[in-house]
Amino acid sequence: MEIDFWLERWNNNQTGFHQTQVNPYLSYFYGNKGPAAEQREKLKVFVPLSGKSKDMLWLSQNGYKVFAVECSDRAVKGFFEENALNYKYAEKDKHALYQSSDLASIIEIFQGDFFEMQQMDLDDITDIFDRASLVALPVEMRQQYANKMAELQKPGVRTLLVTLTFDPAEMNGPPFSVTEEEVHALYSENFSIQKLLFKDVIEDEAGLKNRGLTALVETVYKLVRK
Ligand SMILES: C[S@@+](CC[C@H](N)C(=O)[O-])C[C@H]1O[C@@H](n2cnc3c(N)ncnc32)[C@H](O)[C@@H]1O
Q: Is any ligand 1 atom within 6 A of the Cβ of residue 131?
A: yes
16 inside domain = no
Q: Given this model, what pLDDT does residue 101 score?
A: 86
Q: Which amino acid makes up residue 139?
A: V
What pTM value is reported for the model? Answer: 0.97
The 3-state DSSP class for residue 187 equals helix
Average pLDDT over residues 57-67: 97
Q: Model confidence over 34-49: pLDDT tens digits?
A: 999 999 999 999 999 9
CA neighbor of 6 nearest in space, from 99, 74, 78:
74
Per-residue confidence at 92, pLDDT binned at 50, 70, 90?
confident
Confidence of residue 103 (pLDDT cuts 50, 70, 90): confident
Of 7, 9, 70, the residue with max ligand 1 atoms within 8 A of its CB, to mutate for a pocket test, comes to 70
The yes-or-no verdict on residue 86 having pLDDT over 80 is: yes
Q: What would the pLDDT profile of 179-195 be if each residue is shown by its tens digit? A: 999 999 999 999 999 99
115 lines ligand 1 (CB under 6 A): yes
Ligand 1 lined by 23 (C-beta under 6 Å): no
Which strands form 158-165's sheet, in the order they lie side by side? Answer: 87-92, 95-100, 107-111, 65-70, 44-47, 127-131, 158-165, 217-225, 191-200
Average pLDDT value over all residues in the chain: 96
Cα 34 from Cα 71, distance rounded (Å) = 29
- Of 128, 157, 190, the last residue of a domain is 128
Q: Which of 93, 128, 163 is where one domain is finished?
A: 128
pLDDT digits (tens, 9 = 90+) for 152-162: 999 999 999 99
CATH number at residue 207: 3.40.50.150
Whole-angstrom distance, CA of residue 26 vs CA of residue 174: 22
What's the pLDDT score for residue 11? 96
Q: Specify whether 122 is located in the same domain as 214.
A: no
Residue length of the chain: 226
Name the residue range of residue 208's domain: 132-226
